[in-house]
Every structure is written in structure tokens, then in C-alpha cells.
Amino acid sequence: MKILLQNSWALRRLVAVMVVGFGVGMIYYGMPLGLGNLSFDLYWSVALNALSEFPASFLTFFLIEKLDRKVSVMGLALLSGICSVSCVLVRWKRMQIGLELVSFFSACAAFDVVLIYTLELFPTCVRNSGVSMVRQALVFGGVFSPVLVAAGRKNGFLSYGVFGVTIAVCGLFVACLPETRGRTFCDTMDEEERKNEAINNGVDKV
């Protein structure tokens, strides 16, 4: 962990991906808690949300090699945020639960991609520390969810609206991170730094 804090490029990556993780975690853990605030049947809502995690995981598993990490995370975060905010604005029950499912599905897929992305952002010597910090950020985002869900019983925007705005804004921080698709893993900080310099100079030496 100390090595991460001593290197400015590693610290920037860690902070950026933790902010993204915070936004994803808030909606991933919070949205199922707030289903009671919607007009749709609670039991069906819970069942459909649970089922939506499977296709999200399968989609990530099969497409991760073809997807750019930055575009994927940003696109999923924005889609999840827009649909979450729309849940507050739409009153038609079926449309509301449909938007909620798309939002939760996108958050589930973003959750998986963020963890894979984090593995690729850091060299082997600090990879466990980086992933652990991002996991903490994901859970920390979920800490605020029950408070927002409780507030959302009186004003829907304070739950699903805040969820949507948070994941959309936090997802933009992925723009500060490098693209890692197709790159090989580095073992040391020096090796990662040399690779970054080569890429910045327009010459990929790996």
C-alpha cells in the first residue's frame, strides 16, 4: 500500500478507480433496497433483480476480451444513471420496473468490469492492494444506500435520483485512467512506469 501512495501515477489511478467504484457500489447495493419505494410489486421486483445479475455476469464473461474498459465502464455507468433517474420521473408501473432492471443490470455489469479493470491497472507487486481498496470503495458506496432509501420514501429523487446522478458522475472519472485491453501484466512498478512512458511517447515497447 505504501508503494501505491509513493508513486503519483499509481495514486491517481487508485483514486480515480475508487471514485468509480464508489458510484457503482452505491447503486449496486442500494437499488435492491429501494425496490419498496417503487409502484411495482415488491416480490416480483426482488426476483427480477436477482435474475438480472446472471445475464450481466455472463455478458461480461463473454465480451470482456472485445470491450474497451474505459468505454464499457463509462457507458454502463451513464446508462445506469439515466435509467435510475428516469425511474423517479416515470409513473407507469411496467415502464418503471423496466428502467429499474436496465439500471441494475448495467450496474451489475459495471461492477464486474471495474474489478477486472482494476486488476489490469496495477502491477503484480501492488495488485492485491489496489483491488482491496476498490472493493472497499464499492462497499463504502453501499453504506450510504440505506439512508438514501429511507429518505426516498418521502421524495423519490433522494433515492433513485441520487443513485443515478452519483453513478453517472463517478463513472466520468474513468476518463482519467488508461486503456488496458490487450495489454500484458507488469510485475513491478518500474516496469509499469516504463510501459506508460513508452505508450505516452507513442511507442508501445511491450
Position 76 in a domain: yes
Tell me the residue type at 77. A
Choice between 152 and 23, residue whose per-residue pLDDT is larger: 23
Cβ contact 38:87 at 8 Å: yes
Of 30, 58, 9, nearest to 195 by C-alpha is 9
Position 205 in a domain: no
- Model pLDDT for residues 145-173, shown as the tens digit of each residue: 999 999 888 887 888 899 999 999 999 99
Of 164, 168, 169, 167, nearest to 86 by C-alpha is 164
Position 114 in a domain: yes
Of 11, 6, 4, 23, nearest to 168 by C-alpha is 23
The grid coordinates listed for 106 are 448495467
Domain of residue 134 covers 2-200
Cβ contact 114:21 at 8 Å: yes
- DSSP-based three-state secondary structure for 167: helix
Position 206 in a domain: no
Most distant CA atoms of the chain, gap in Å: 57
Position 171 in a domain: yes
Position 121 in a domain: yes
Q: Which of 52-56, 126-130, 150-154 has the lowest mean pLDDT?
A: 150-154
Position 46 in a domain: yes
Q: According to the model, what pLDDT value does residue 205 have?
A: 44
Q: State the residue for C-alpha cell 455476469.
A: 57
Position 20 in a domain: yes
Of 83, 73, 89, nearest to 31 by C-alpha is 83
CATH of residue 67: 1.20.1250.20
Give residue 84's pLDDT band: very low, low, confident or very high (50, 70, 90).
very high
pLDDT beyond 90 at 93: no
Cβ contact 120:196 at 8 Å: no
pTM equals: 0.88
How many CA atoms does the CB half-sphere of 74 hold within 13 Å?
A: 13
Domain total of the chain: 1
Q: State the residue for C-alpha cell 433483480.
A: 49
